[in-house]
Structure formats: C-alpha cells, structure tokens
Structure 1
Amino acid sequence: MHYKIKECKIYGKRNPFLFLSGWAESNAKYVYIQDKKQVYYKMELLSNGCSSVSFSLRTPLAKNKMMHTYNVVCEDAQGNKETIYIIKYNVLKQLKNQDDTIIHTSNLRDVLAYQKWIETNEHRDAYSNLTYQPVFSLIIPVYNVERKYLVACLDSIRNQSYQNFEVCIADDASTNQETLQTLKEYEAKDARIHICYRKENGHISNASNSALAMVQGEFVAMMDNDDVLRPNALYEMAYALNQDQELDFIYSDEDKLDMSENRFDPQFKPDYAADKFYGSNYLCHFNVVRTSLMKEIGGFRVGYEGAQDYDLFLRIIEKTNRIYHIPKVLYHWRMLPGSTSTSATSKNYAAIAGKKALVSYFENKQTTVQVDIVLDTHYFVKYVVQGDDAIEILVDAKNFSAEDMNRLVATCKEQSYKKVSIIAFVKKNQSFANVICIPIKDSFVSTVNAYCIESTASHFVFVNEPITFSNFDALELMLGYSQQEEIGVVGGKVLYQNEVIGSSYALIDEKLLFLHPKANETDYGVYSTLLIPSNARVLEDSCFMISKKIVNQIKLDGNLVRADVFFDLHLQIYANRYRNVLLPAVEIETNTSSIVEAIDKRSLDKWIKMEINTDEDPFYSPNLSKVKAYTFRD
C-alpha cells in the first residue's frame, strides 16, 4: 500500500499523546494506532474521490512508558491489514534532545507561592445589603461518602455569609450506614435541607435529577458530596445577580484540596471562551444556573455519566449567552484517590462521555465536525471544510528573499487543501517567481485594502514574515474555523528553533503580554492553552486567517504604525463580536524570533476611544501577573 507520513510528533512524557497526519491509497478504509496489546485509536478514512485519502489524528498513548513501540496500521475494505509505519518512542532521548534553556516560567503549581497569594489577596470583603435576594437551591447527589467529607461539605453550606438557600440532596441508595446517619442528622438539624432517599442506585445523572425535582429556588447550584464552598460563595453569586438580574449562568474560579486539607492548583479562569470550552469543561465549579432554564432543557441526561455536567452546560449555552464569570476562588474540589480531580484518566469513561456530549451539541447545531480526544478530558474540535472556498495567502514581502518565497510556495503545495494561491505585495524593483506580485502604491495598508475588495477569494491568510507550515493540514484546519460565521481571526502556534515565539497575547496595562514565553513545541501550556484551542483578543500577527467578508467589513487602518496594524485589526474584529481563535494544532515555523509587546500611543488612543479595555483582558485572569505570564499576581 502506498502511503506518506507527513507529521509524527509525540507530546508529553508521563502522559504522551500522538499527532499523526499523512495519506494512504484510496482503498484504505481504516487507520489504527496500536501496539502488541491494544488498539489506541481507530479512524475511519472517508474517500473524497481522489487516488489517495488523507488522515489527521490525535490520540493518547500508553502512560508512564520510558520506551515503547507503536504500529500505524491501514486496513482496506476487504479486511486486509498492513503496517505502514512504526513509531519508536524513547522518553530519555526526548529529554536529552530538549534544549536546556527552555524552561517553564509558570509558578501556579508552587504550593508555597499559592499560599502566599492567598494571604495577600483573599481578605474578607465588606458585605453590602442586597436588594435582590434570590433563593439558591444546592443540589447534591450522595453515594456512600465518608462522614467527615459529607460533614465538611454541608457545614460549608450552612456557614455561608448569604443564608437564603436550600439544600436538595438525593441519596443514590447508599449502603454505608455512616452516610445515611449523617444525612438524617443534618436533615433534622436544618429545615432547609431536603433529602430524597432513592430506593435503587441510578448513578449520578438520575440522582442529580432526583435532587433537581425538589428544587424550589430561583437558581440551582451544583456541588459534589465531598467538596467545600468558600464562606462567601453564595454571596458573590447573589451580588453578581444584583448587578444584572438577567444572568442565566454564573461560574467562578476554583482550587483543589489535598488529603491534608491544603489548598493547591488554583484554576484562574478566563471569562466565557466558547472554543476553550469546546476543548474542556473549564467552567466546572462553582456555578449557578437559572432553575427555569435547567428544567427547560430537561436536567441531566442519562448516558453521559462522567461528563454529565459538561453535557448539561453545552445544552445550556445553546439556550443563552447571558453567562458571567466571577474571578474569585469560591470552591474547593477535594482530591481523593480515583476521583476525576486526581486524574481524569482514572475515569476514562468521562473522556468518552465528554466526546459524546460534544458530538451531540454540534449535531444539534447542524455543524459538521470531527471530535478527537486529545488527552484525558481534553478535546479537539475540527470543523469539516464545506465546499471549495478559495484561499489567498497575502504576503507582506518586504523582508522576503527569493529563497524565503520559494519555501512558502513549497509548503503551500504540500498542504492537503489545494485551492490556494499566493499574492505577494512587493516594493519597487522586487519580484518573485511562482506567485502573483502586486506593487505597493501609496502604502501597504491601502494597497491591501483595495486588493481585498476586488479579490474573488473567500478567505485570506496574512503572512508577514518568512514561514513554513509544519503540518500538512494547517490551512484545512484554519479554513474549517474561518468558515464559521461567528469566528474572526484564526491563528496558529509560531515556532522558532522549537520554541514558541508566537501564539496569543493579553492586552493589559496598555501593553501586549505574550502568554507563552519559554514554551517549547511539545508543551501543553498553562491551563492547556497550547494543547487545545483557546480564545484571545489578539493573536500572533505573523500568520493568521480571516474571511474576506470580515476583512472588507472592518479593513486595515492605515493611520497606525505598521507594527500595530494587524493587532488593531484583531481587536476591531473582537469588538465586533467575533471570536478570535488560537489553534495549537496548527504549527508554523519561522526564521525570526522577535516578540512584540510595546504598543504605539496612536493605537492606544484609538482603542480607548473605542471603549476597548486596555487595562484588563477578558481571557487572562486578574489574579495573574501583568508582567510575567501565568504567574501569581503580587
């Protein structure tokens, strides 16, 4: 069988996962990743009428293996199998080859640093009187939980500074007498605690629905039977609703508790970011949802156990966009052996259920996607390209040599998506072979704006420095996203000598903060920002895609310094309610290593006049440093 492997990379060491792409003869029906003991991934290959069929897959591999061998196997329609490629993985070799100068700069896993942050930042706020005092109904499914954990959970609720609540507990036929006795004790102790004792064990979705059936409050809050609320958790939710009573879904930050009750691993979340949410359920805890909305969607669905919250939230965001984030740690997720907080892989069914929930969500939206489990409960949503939209690569060629342009031409020819042409905007006396050259007249910006209006292409890729694509499906992945009506800028991970030098920025304190300093190409990124898609206001400007419709709607601003033009374009697109998306699966190689952070005053004045917040960024937590990305704020 004829084949070609275009990309084969293994990311991670203790928890490795594979990125593999290539093509095989059109009679290939399936591709497998397997070793002698098990199949890790099976993918059906869909024929497109060509002599070959391409594949691009991502899959977790065997864990904690220092050395391992995997076979890539193709199977034809008659069931004949052939090993087309052998992958030999060696952790020690990978470590040896890694550049020692590339280090992680985040300190968010440093327990002592977190304790210091807590002491500095978590002081008790003065509570104001609230005009609107909604009733919160906390629903808790319970099953055989140890008394000490259940007591801690219920006491954390009863000790809330905001007392207008009820607790709706569904015991899922516990057999542990200690659990049952504790429930009866608290039921007798507090009239706000209502308990349904289920006669049969129905698992977490059925139990949660039994609790939901008892709800009388205006808002539902979800909690696990061994976790703990901060004393101000319900007050903060009520305060947010006093600022905006139309909110339907509110979520907060969270951290974890170890077996000794020590807090660690804070999850400082962004404001709602749809594409990040499609990649993982980062909303998680603590959250409240309008009761009428919960009941409208039918509560929790049976068959999605392990990802029942994720499925619920996906169905909620289909119904509302009134979502609000409170950037405070209000919930402590207890880390017990075997829980998903300890390791999502201890419940592999959670990853499978999460994928099922995503597939259902996009089917309801009538959007054709391929959902891959990237790692544990992290997913990559690939939008399947519709039609044959023309792509034009618009190159600012002022710093390009002939060799640079030849490499760009070659890398575009290798792409799986073929309806691509290259347009080079050139200076006087500058020309290149195999591309269309457009002389710059008054300025680069005015020439590009004029060209985009007349172009027959549907999507543009702006290239502002010499690049090549590392993966052969880069343009196909970007186009799938760019074809979505609500998506604006689509960018990738830009690499220089295996180090990430371009991805996304936070606009804070009137400057751009690069979010992934010193990351190497195999890093997952803090909060998985280099593992799964994420949202940002500003992306790296060396290579990105935008639809023609959006470019012609917003246009490049020639009144700004050239270095800020594309950053301004990204911000304007975001301000017009489009989502800008970073795709780490798209890897772009460059031969320059500059990182831009300073912004010209003219740009800042324009953004302030547009009422764009230049001090805080919705996709970068205010709990984090404004100087050193993804470290604790002083």
Structure 2
Amino acid sequence: MAAWAEALPQPVPIAVLMPVFNPKPEWLQAAIDSVRAQLYPHWQLCIADDRSTDPRIQPLLEAAMAADPRIQVVFRERNGHICASSNSALELVQAPWVALLDHDDLLPDEALIWVAKAIAEHPQARLFYSDEDKLSPAGELFDPYFKGDWNPVLMEGQNMSSHLGVYATDLVRRVGGFREGFEGSQDHDLVLRCSEQLRREQIVHIPRVLYHWRVHPQSTAGGAKAKPYTVQAAERAISEHLQRRALPLRQISWTPVGFRAELALPELPPRVSVIIPTRNGLQVLRPCLISLLERTRYPDFEVLVVDNGSDDPATLQFLAGLEQQGQIRVLPDPSPFNYSALNNRAVNHASGELICLLNNDIEVVDPGWLEELVVQALRTGVGAVGARLLYPNRTLQHGGVLLGVGGVANHAHLGWPGDHPGYFSRAQLTQEMAAVTGACLLVRRSHYEAVGGLNEEQLKVAFNDVDFCLKLREQGLQNVYAPAARLIHHESVSRGQDLSAEKAARFAAEVDWMQQRWGDQLPHDPAYNPNLSLDNPHFRLAWPPRVERWASS
C-alpha cells in the first residue's frame, strides 16, 4: 500500500480537519499520532484550538507542529465552539480534499490510502464516506457500522455518512463551511447541504472501517443523551434541508432510534386503487377487508378484489354483500393462478393515480398506514414504497428486501421483534431499499405501466415484486421502505406453502430466471454492505469476507 502511494505520479493531497477544545491530552496525542502513522504520506493536518483552558494543550500542539511540517495549528483568540473552530481550521487547508477527525478519535493507518484510491477510481466524486466502528475506554474496537451506498432518505433519520467523511474542499467552501448554531450536528448539516449540490453518483461509499469513534461519557458515540443539544441541531438541519428541497414537512420528531420526518399529504390527496387478489380464504379475507375499510383513514381510495375462481359460498356471499354496499368492486378472473397477471389486469380497471398491491392476508392495524405510503410515493424520483409487515406474533416479516441474501433476495431483519430498532435502527427508519415486498406495495400508476407491471411470463408467483422494483431502479427511480406504515401479514395462509413437486419446479425456474436476469446486481445491493453476509438477513459479518483485499492495479 505504501509503495503504491509513493509511486503515484501526481498524488492527491488530503487535509485532515481537527477542531480542538480541552480534550484529554493523551487522547489528543493519540489522534495526532494516528494521522502521522498514515500509510499515505500526502496529508496535511489542520488544527484549530478553540482557546482551550487546559494548559497542557497548547504545548502539545506546538510540539506536534515542530515535529512534523505537515501539521499546522491556529490558536483562536476566543472560544467560538466547534463550528467556528472548524472554519478556522478550514482556512488552513491547502489540499483539494478535506477529511474530518474529532480531537479524541483515531484513524486506522490505512484510512487515507483507501480514500486516495477511491478518489483515483471515482474522478467524478466530490464526497466520500466510509464505514466506522467504536473505541471503548479499554481500547477495544467494537460495534462496527457497515453502511450502504448513499441513502438520502435514511439521512433524514440519521447521519448515516458520519465518519469518515471526506469532502472536496471547494465544495465545503462553496456551501459556506460549518454553520454556527448547528453545534453537535454540524457534520450532519454539512453533508446535507453538500449533497444538495451533487448528483447521486458524486457521493461514494468506501466499504471499509476507516474511523474509530471513541466512546466516553461526553461523546455522542454512546448516544445523543451525552449532548442533548445535538438533537435540536439535527432537527433544524433536517428541517431546513427538506424545506430547501420543497418537501411538505409536517413535523419532525426524535426517538432514541433516530428522527422521523413526517410529510404532509397534498390538499387534494390522489386516489389510491387497492388491488387484492383472492381465491376463497374467508378466514383471512374477512379481517383484511373489514380492517381495510373500517380502519383506514385515507380520504380517497377504492378497493378492487380480484376473485380468482372462488367457489366457497361463504366467501362469495361476503364479497357480494360488500359490493352491494358499494364498498368494493369485485373483478372476476377465474384464469389459472398467476399473481402477476391478476394484478396487471386489475390495474386496467383501476381509477386511481396510485396503485396499492395488497395481499388478501394483510390486516390493517394503524389508521394512517396508507397516508404514510402515499407521502413517500409522491416524492420526486420514488418508485415503489413498502410497509413494515409483522407476523401475528408481532415479529418482523418485512423490513425491506435485501438482494442476494439466500440466493435471490430475503427480507431484512426477518423474525426480529417488531419493535426492535434493527441494525443501527434501520428496521425503524424510513430509507431507500433496492426492493420491497409486493404483499403491500404502493406505486404511481404511471410508473407501474412504464415498466410493464409485474412479469406474468417468467414470474407468475415468486420474485415478481423484486423484479418489478429492479425494473423501477432501471428507470432511475428509488424504492422506499416506510416503517411507519405498520400492518399484520398472515403470510401464505390463503394459498398454503409451495410443497408439491410442481410448485417446487416452478419456484426453481423463477430463481433461475432471476439469477439470469439480475445476477450482476443481486450480490451488490446498494442498501446493504459487502462486508455483510449473503447467508442470512440479520446483518451479520460475511465469512469468508466478500470485500476484496488491497490491489494496487
């Protein structure tokens, strides 16, 4: 690695920005030493001391400057807090790239060389971020956060980019540097403002742990309670970001799992056509339809029940009664079971601007579920939106779909307690996902039709939802998991499990088709991390590793 750096004909300098105020001297020295130990030698350490009152800090910094000409320090005349101090350090920066390092944290020795390699491989990029872990008081590394690619919706719930953040210096200066008044969440505010100036492909994730975040009572590494003012600063940063993007923010709230930005419906909410294929199954169909009709608060929706050859008198009587009352429309379709075709044909009869695919074994529990899906689907650039689905025992059935897990795809956090935060709160935060389940899926009708709906030729039963979501992504749309929309899913009760030889053969053919069609994408889910396993949906470390080792070519 070091030989690669030395051999570069035009190495890119990287500045490390470090605001300092009264850290433990041994922690500050360790932070400085971690920069000096970098395998990549083309760095500049820019330190601003915010008038520390500890008399040991200034001599330590002066000694660091004397020991290495790449270290520069400005001693501020008055204390201005972290944003003002960071801006003072920014004035020292001469390099085209700037990385952010807190005065008590550490960089592993390969951090900047991986950044330099990423800069060389992504010349269009203007912002990089890496994975991170934590450093315990005993000096042990723990709790690694293996992140996904840039996820602007998740950024509204947490600062998922955070450490290590590396920015084009001219970009940081162009947006005005660090804004005073956002102390404690100044980096969250900065990355949001920078992202507004960039295209998605200009923000690059480096799937390596390049930052060790020290945990101590005054650090937010242990949670926001250490610095409660950080919550207010982040709320303001997210609120202003959404306002600049002209999103209809109703309110923003915080819980220990993160932030929730609640968006408002338009004054005239668009009509939603809810499509429910069924064949008999009154034991699940009745609670599905009754809960849908009685509990859903959304002001304008129609219910289309696709009757795929029901012959149970009780089911037929139940449907006829609801249709006579004008509460549903029944679309008879006795053709051989083909989930994709049933939905596609029903869309032709729908009057809504939005289409909601709903399994007949879904039960509504929260009145606002459909509103939550609609406000996400109305975002510019959003394709399909999926809900948080719970089994009847309230464990998680669907928290978004992870590509490649188990071969083709699997549900994130499958079987976890329904109220569990999930991996770094991702079971509970609204975010982009590569795909969502068709058991409860909302999409604009125009998007549905643009990609040809569900694949009724090769994917009659399984994976048609994943394929549909990937087709939306091909159109430049992003799919969203909206956990505030919470429903119960009595999965596969209506048609039973696929156990026969015929069904097993059909499923194997659908798996094969998915791997042929999407095989290059399945192992590379943008919302997952290549350090994590494809064997199960529980965000566990992959073994053997899936991430390639250093290659200088």
Aligned to 2:204: 324
Change (3 A) 1:567 1:398: farther
Aligned to 1:205: 83
Displacement of 1:159: 1.1
- Aligned pairs for 1:128-277 (under 5 A) are 129-130=7-8, 132-277=10-155
* 1:491 and 2:386 correspond: yes
Unaligned runs of 5+ in 2: 323-327, 499-503, 544-553
Aligned to 1:527: 424
Distance (whole Å) between structure 2 residues aligned to residue 612 and residue 536 of structure 1? 17
Letter in 1 for 2:522: T
Q: Deviations over 1:328-357 (max 9, x none)?
A: 111100111121112211211111110100
**Residue 357 of structure 1 aligns to a residue in which SS?**
helix
Distance (whole Å) between structure 2 residues aligned to residue 213 and residue 399 of structure 1? 71
**Residue 315 of structure 1 aligns to a residue in which SS?**
helix
* 1:501 and 2:379 correspond: no
Q: Is the 8 A contact 2:129 2:206 kept in 1?
A: yes
Displacement of 1:505: 2.3
Of residues 339, 361, 377 in structure 2, which corresponds to 1:482?
377
Aligned to 1:12: none
Distance (whole Å) between structure 2 residues aligned to residue 505 and residue 399 of structure 1? 29
Distance (whole Å) between structure 2 residues aligned to residue 591 and residue 454 of structure 1? 27
Distance (whole Å) between structure 1 residues aligned to residue 87 and residue 512 of structure 2? 50
Q: Is the 8 A contact 1:371 1:379 kept in 2?
A: no
Letter in 1 for 2:108: R
Aligned to 2:458: 560
Q: Deviations over 1:543-599 (max 9, x none)?
A: 111111110111211112322222211221123222211122111112236899x96
Displacement of 1:450: 4.2
Aligned to 2:235: 355
* 1:440 and 2:333 correspond: yes
Q: Is the 8 A contact 2:352 2:445 kept in 1?
A: yes
Q: Is the 8 A contact 1:556 1:566 kept in 2?
A: yes
Letter in 1 for 2:271: A
Q: Is the 8 A contact 1:399 1:465 kept in 2?
A: no
Of residues 516, 526, 531 in structure 2, which corresponds to 1:618?
526
- Count of aligned pairs between the two proteins: 510
- Aligned pairs for 1:383-422 (under 5 A) are 383-386=263-266, 387-398=268-279, 400-401=281-282, 404-405=285-286, 407-422=288-303
Letter in 1 for 2:178: F
Q: Is the 8 A contact 2:108 2:210 kept in 1?
A: yes
Q: TM-score scaled by structure 2?
A: 0.87
- Aligned pairs for 1:1-16 (under 5 A) are none
**Residue 472 of structure 1 aligns to a residue in which SS?**
coil
Between the aligned residues of both structures, percent identity stands at 26
Judging by fraction of residues, say which structure has more strand: 1
Aligned to 1:630: 539
Distance (whole Å) between structure 1 residues aligned to residue 95 and residue 512 of structure 2? 46
**Residue 221 of structure 2 aligns to a residue in which SS?**
coil
**Residue 545 of structure 1 aligns to a residue in which SS?**
strand
Q: Deviations over 1:262-305 (max 9, x none)?
A: 11111111111122111100111012111111111001111111
Change (3 A) 1:223 1:379: same
Q: Is the 8 A contact 2:397 2:489 kept in 1?
A: no
Q: Is the 8 A contact 2:390 2:397 kept in 1?
A: yes
Displacement of 1:222: 0.6
Q: TM-score scaled by structure 1?
A: 0.76
Distance (whole Å) between structure 1 residues aligned to residue 166 and residue 448 of structure 2? 38
Distance (whole Å) between structure 2 residues aligned to residue 377 and residue 354 of structure 1? 14
Aligned to 2:217: 337
Change (3 A) 1:163 1:412: farther
Letter in 1 for 2:262: K
Aligned to 2:551: none
**Residue 540 of structure 1 aligns to a residue in which SS?**
coil
Aligned to 1:19: none
Letter in 1 for 2:233: A
Change (3 A) 1:182 1:461: same
Change (3 A) 1:483 1:315: same
**Residue 184 of structure 1 aligns to a residue in which SS?**
helix
* 1:471 and 2:366 correspond: yes
Q: Is the 8 A contact 1:513 1:626 kept in 2?
A: no
Q: Is the 8 A contact 1:146 1:178 kept in 2?
A: no
Displacement of 1:259: 1.1
Letter in 2 for 1:344: A
Distance (whole Å) between structure 2 residues aligned to residue 429 and residue 527 of structure 1? 45
**Residue 410 of structure 2 aligns to a residue in which SS?**
strand
Displacement of 1:247: 0.7
Aligned to 2:163: 285
Distance (whole Å) between structure 2 residues aligned to residue 328 and residue 391 of structure 1? 43
- Aligned pairs for 1:566-585 (under 5 A) are 566-585=465-484
Displacement of 1:499: 1.3
Change (3 A) 1:477 1:218: same
Displacement of 1:448: 3.2
Q: Deviations over 1:16-45 (max 9, x none)?
A: xxxxxxxxxxxxxxxxxxxxxxxxxxxxxx
Distance (whole Å) between structure 1 residues aligned to residue 310 and residue 34 of structure 2? 73
Change (3 A) 1:265 1:447: closer
Aligned to 1:423: 304
Unaligned runs of 5+ in 1: 1-123
Letter in 2 for 1:633: A
Change (3 A) 1:363 1:163: same
Q: Deviations over 1:114-135 (max 9, x none)?
A: xxxxxxxxxx898574455211
Change (3 A) 1:315 1:600: farther
Distance (whole Å) between structure 1 residues aligned to residue 515 and residue 3 of structure 2? 34
Displacement of 1:612: 4.5
More divergent stretch after superposition (272-281 vs 560-569): 560-569
**Residue 246 of structure 2 aligns to a residue in which SS?**
coil
Aligned to 1:455: 350
* 1:366 and 2:262 correspond: no
Q: CA RMSD in A?
A: 2.3
* 1:551 and 2:448 correspond: yes
Q: Deviations over 1:114-159 (max 9, x none)?
A: xxxxxxxxxx898574455211111110001122111111111111
